[in-house]
Structure 1
């Protein structure tokens, strides 16, 4: 059976150049296969191209009074165009998809809009989790627990030995980031039994760095899944998928997208990032009762993530329309 090959290009540092096995752990068949498609990120001549959080589009240079500078700028522009065409590997715009993952935070929304516009000459389908995107939509699910698809699909709940964890980062570029860090400090200074994991966090957080999120979630009944953006109907990120795939009951702070995508009872709503929110977490995590009550809903949500929301399945459904 002939398979449709999907290549990928991205501006994510960790994916550039893209490794051939990107997303293979999310595919239900070997070598990144899902039904009639195969993910081969660096395939030489793919049938479709996925631009995934790609923002390295050539910018038309502004003219300068100095002719030599104009020549240099024009040459740089042409070089960037040539490099982009090489990355596109001959895939036409009608078979190129652009998926953006950045939330429309007030400080960066203008950059998101500019990127959507820059993608238009190269892509037929341009989507992002905000109303400014040409095709507003939820982000197809990716996750950062490094278990195989088969393991995640078939595993029972792992042993739960601790109440609660939070995996986050020390990024503080926006007001929303700083609110999250202030809540982290509030929890740290309380008597709440919660373990912190992540990179770039302040030293007072006493957080541990981990390479596989599974180890910071699977042994815990509850996980704090706190988005950097919670103000529209589209944005929901891997924070929720990672938690559920690790068989945690997420205590979730985010927008309404999660309510539309997941079954009722599969996560709890954190009311706020303040003393009220802290008290809510304290009451829930005092016993594992809520986790036991939610176990069936968590199991259902996991299968929805793996089979329906999964980016690989999303790509298979998109290609099937051609």
Structure 2
């Protein structure tokens, strides 16, 4: 491992200034992803700014029944917070399914949202990878791509976004709050993540030196009956082949409201807006759920290794919606 510089400031302004002025600097919270990538030699960071002294660990009430998750709150603490369990069960379930107990005790909410893709070609350090070295190509396009994206890909990249938590947050229109060299701003989480397009090395909209400080979950009655399902190769710690965060409100046999987001299939957490629009006003039946799922997956761009994800996602969406209803 190459030499590293390390700092542990006690205020956000100092931390931001340290990272902003050094292009190869990065914030360090739980370190469950960053340290792995450093050991692999994948990221260029040689200055680590430890932010664990900063006051962003709490889960706080918001007007209207929402909750604010501090960016440094640990995944395990948020997953078991009684308010999260009661008001946003899909968020709690996504956190509990997202990592082993040991990792959840270390990993932070903000770090989870910024974790890098799990593409083997990105992490092997030698294969062509536009995320790691822009302009070198994407080995996954014609390589082993069973776990790769079928939605939101481009000729530059088809790696899937790995976060379970982000899928649940996208379903409920969470808002990411950041502070940086130019002040503070709030980013709807669906805008926080970027499609690869021609710049797959940019996975989110943070500028150098910008720091996530909190994530807001708006008060939303529909979230109370939400659920999160994760389909994977094994039930122990593993990334999703397909995951679904869903909530549905039914009255007199008709769908009145629905929230649906997918993981394991997209290059970003995938809000299933086509399916949502089709379901509003439709009969609350398994047939309606299945038809909406087919519409959502109609634009999938598949390869021989990952074509199975289309029927798997369709069936999972229908099953989860039926269960949530």
Question: TM-score, normalised to structure 1's length?
Answer: 0.23
Which is higher, the Rg of structure 1 or of structure 2? 1
